[in-house]
Amino acid sequence: MLSKEEKILKNMCLMDDTFMTVALDGNTEAISILVSTVLQRKVTIISATTQKTVLNTRGKKIIMDVFAVDDHGNVYVIEVENNPTRAKVPRMQYYSDMVSNIIVQSGTTYSQIPNRTVICFTRGDGAKTGQSLSRSVTKWKNTDQGVIPYGEIIYVNVKENQGNDPISVLCRDLVQKDYRKIVNPVLRESCRRTKKGDRKEIMCDKIRQLQAETRKEERARAAQREKKLKMEIEKANKRAEEQKKEAERQNQEAESLKKELERARQEAEQERNIYLRGMIEANIPVESICAVLHMSVDAVRKQAFLLGCVL
């Protein structure tokens, strides 16, 4: 029965950067095949490192999937991007520029800076050219033959793999999960060693590390979501408390206004009664009193009775 890590490993291919990191680390023969196929000329890689970390002077860090050097000193950076939107030209150009932090030593003249090539394998049209293979050449070096290229950015769309040309065959090998079906024998053996051979345990450890990191990131995101939710709840409670205080204030104002109206009504009634009493004592006719006070005869007589006056 396969372990959890073995089940994940079974579905991996060279387009998974973690799998590629283990399968190609120090594997100069396999990397020579990748570079030679893409460049369509013989290239002999003499050193190769995966997951190479480079810092610029301001602390910006990048991690190169593969950093390799050929027998002429030319430098190659190989990147695997399953999400084409992450493989934009400015990013690849930055990777190319950052190579200088590694290869340029004190005393190196500018004319001695070796050529560098960035090869980006993507599951889609990362270069936005509609082509399976796209090149972007940077011209810089002045020689007797004129200005020559010193750097290239090459995109390979591994989805465009239906032909029988070397690029299409390579692309099919890169996305093949069953190592037994990989055409190139060197790449097939590299994948076999990583899935079934001496590098399998290294790969399983990598998977466990990735799972641990994923769980850690998920816990961090969950904690962040919980923190955000608590902040939203606190804001909602604060708004509710402010609304409650505002409602109490409005109720107090309404109560105060009600008392003020009652006091004004009582004062008006007292004033009317004083006026009524004076008119009764002055023997003003009831009809005239009613007209002045806008009251009916019955209302005047009732109020006079309450005041102890006799009409």
pLDDT in tens, 225-263: 999 999 999 999 999 999 999 999 999 999 999 999 999
**How high is the pLDDT of residue 37?**
94
How do strand 75-81 and strand 45-55 relate by DSSP bridges?
Answer: unpaired
How do strand 133-143 and strand 116-122 relate by DSSP bridges?
Answer: unpaired
Is residue 136 over pLDDT 60?
Answer: no
Beginning with the edge strand found earlier in the chain, give each strand of the sheet holding 61-70 in spatial order: 45-55, 61-70, 75-81, 116-122, 146-157, 133-143
Is residue 205 over pLDDT 80?
Answer: yes
Is residue 4 over pLDDT 70?
Answer: yes
**How high is the pLDDT of residue 147?**
52
What DSSP state is assigned to residue 114?
Answer: P
**Tokens representing 8?**
């994940």
**How high is the pLDDT of residue 223?**
93
**Contact predicate 134/168, CB 8 Å:** no
Name every residue whose Cβ is closer than 8 Å to that of residue 178 and which is 6 or more positions away in sequence: none
Average pLDDT over residues 270-276: 86
Cα dist. 186→106, 182, 198, 215, 250 in Å? 38, 9, 15, 35, 82
**Contact predicate 41/76, CB 8 Å:** no
**How high is the pLDDT of residue 294?**
86
- How high is the mean pLDDT of the chain? 86
Domain ranges of the chain: 4-198
Average pLDDT over residues 218-228: 93
* 28-78 confidence digits (pLDDT tens): 999 999 999 999 999 999 999 888 878 776 767 788 889 999 998 889 999
* 13-32 confidence digits (pLDDT tens): 999 989 999 999 999 999 99
Average pLDDT over residues 82-110: 76
Between these two residues, 110 and 64, which has the higher pLDDT value? 64
**% of the chain exceeding 90 in pLDDT:** 45
- Identify the bridge partners of residue 216 per DSSP, sorted by sequence position: none
**How high is the pLDDT of residue 140?**
52
Where does residue 118 rank: exposed (0-12), middle (13-18), buried (19+ CB within 10 A)?
buried
Is residue 287 over pLDDT 90?
Answer: no
Residues 203, 103: Cα–Cα separation, whole Å: 30
With H, G, I as helix, E, B as strand and everything else as coil, classify residue 118.
strand
**How high is the pLDDT of residue 83?**
86
